Structure formats: C-alpha cells, structure tokens
C-alpha cells in the first residue's frame, strides 16, 4: 500500500475544463483553483494555452492541451501541428486522442507511427505526452494492442478516456493498462470521476493522474475524512 497526504492526492489531479462554451473567466477561475489546491495541471483546449500559461506563471501547475480532441479524427500531421502550436503558446503537457478508425481497422503500424511522432514532438520540447485510448469503444484485444504499442514507444502516460465518449474510467481498465504498459509508462484515469470513493478506487488500482472537473469537492471530502480520522495520510 502507498500512503498519500492530502497535498500528494491533490498533485494527482488534472483540473479540467474542456467545454466548448468556456469563457475566459471560467478558464481563469480554473487556473486560480488549480493554484490554490496545488493540482498538477489544468486541462484545457489548445486555444486556452496562452491564457493559462500567463495565469499560472511562477507556479508549478502545468498547462495541458488536449490535441485531436475529442474524436482523434485528424491526420498525424494535423495533430503534430496542433501540438507544436499549443507548445508555442505555453502548453507544458499534451493529451492526444488516438485515431480510433485506424485502431478499429487494425492498422497498428499507423497507430504506432502516430504515437511515435507525438511522443517525439513532446519529448523534444521537454514536455509530457499522454495518449488517450477512449476505452469505451474498444474491445479487450484492442486495448491490449494499444498497451503493447505504448510499451514499445514510451509515452509518459496512457489515458482511459476523453470524458466525451459513451463511458469513462473504470477500475478494471486502469488495472489492465497498468499491467500491460510496462513500468516506464504511467496510467491516467479520466471520464466520469465525480466523487471521492471513485477517485480513491482508481488511485488504488494504479492511476497516477486523475483527470476530472470535480477535483475540488473530491479534495474537500478527503480533507473532511482525514480530519475526522485524525490521520495525516490515507493508505491505498
């Protein structure tokens, strides 16, 4: 088991606002909340990267841009261009969506080449690269094939979901991904994570980042539990 203080749990959170109708005030509030709660990252659409980078300057909260989001249905060249543009605007982490059509067709060379180009683009800039599988649309063999490609290519994270599909993160998927991507690739859970018990279950299953918009009520609930128990840490 691993012991987590409250701040360590906060540092697992990618604080998220990917709504199409988000206003600048919403994004600035997201950044302020992330700074106050010491979350790991704000997850935003790429066009918000510069605003977030400015708002979070001088902090250790990163700016995460969602690329090819939420469908992944653009060319590799388009994803690479979008990534470079987001990085130039101040993004310091990248979450991109795989091309699910190519996955469904079993064109694994395409999927691997896309992942390799995206990881190279990110790592050459010194930023983290996360690969979104969108597991709700995948069968077991497809999930395993993607894990194997990730194991070989070496992104920093693989991620369960966009939060915009027909389903979100599950404990079973996190365990499957952890067991199959190898030790150097971590797992991020995202999609439908709205309460403290779900958060804790996914962390216990091996997730090392949690993408959600409910980070504040989750952390407030965990704070209450720690205060009530008199403990300084939670064991998961």
Give the residue numbers marked as catalytic: 95, 159, 188
CB atoms near residue 49 (< 10 Å): 22
The 3 state secondary structure assigned to the chain is CCEEEHHHHHCCEEEECCCCCCCHHHHHHHHHHHHHHCCCEEEECHHHHHHHHHHCCCCCCEEEEEECCCCCCCCHHHHHHHHHHHHHCCCCEEEEECCHHHHHCCCHHHHHHHHHHHHHHHHHCCCEEEEECCHHHCCHHHHHHHHHHHHHHCCCEEECCCCCCCCCCCHHHHHHHHHHCCCCCEEEEECCCCCHHHHHHHHHHCCCEEEECCHHHHHHHHHHHHHHHCCCEEEC
Say if residues 230 and 210 touch (Cβ distance below 8 Å). no
Which two three-digit tokens encode residue 72? 């992944």
CB atoms near residue 227 (< 10 Å): 10
């Amino acid at each position: 088991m691993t012991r987590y203080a409250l701040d360590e749990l906060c540092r697992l959170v990618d604080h998220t606002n990917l709504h199409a109708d988000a206003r600048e005030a919403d994004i600035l509030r997201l950044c302020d909340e992330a700074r106050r709660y010491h979350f790991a990252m704000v997850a935003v659409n790429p066009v918000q990267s510069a605003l977030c980078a400015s708002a979070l300057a001088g902090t250790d909260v990163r700016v995460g841009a969602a690329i090819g989001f939420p469908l992944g249905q653009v060319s590799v060249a388009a994803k690479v261009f979008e990534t470079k543009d987001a990085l130039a605007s101040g993004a310091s982490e990248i979450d991109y969506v795989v091309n699910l059509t190519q996955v469904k067709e079993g064109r694994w060379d395409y999927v691997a080449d896309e992942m390799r180009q995206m990881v190279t683009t990110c790592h050459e800039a010194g930023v983290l690269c996360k690969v979104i599988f969108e597991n709700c649309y995948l069968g077991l063999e497809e999930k395993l094939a993607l894990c194997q490609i990730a194991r070989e290519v070496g992104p920093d994270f693989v991620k369960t979901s966009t939060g915009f599909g027909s389903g979100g993160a599950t404990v079973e998927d996190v365990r499957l991904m952890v067991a199959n991507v190898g030790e150097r690739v971590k797992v991020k859970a995202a999609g439908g994570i709205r309460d403290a018990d779900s958060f804790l279950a996914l962390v216990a299953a091996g997730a090392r980042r949690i993408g959600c918009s409910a980070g504040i009520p989750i952390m407030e609930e965990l704070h209450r539990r720690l205060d009530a128990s008199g403990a300084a840490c939670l064991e998961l």
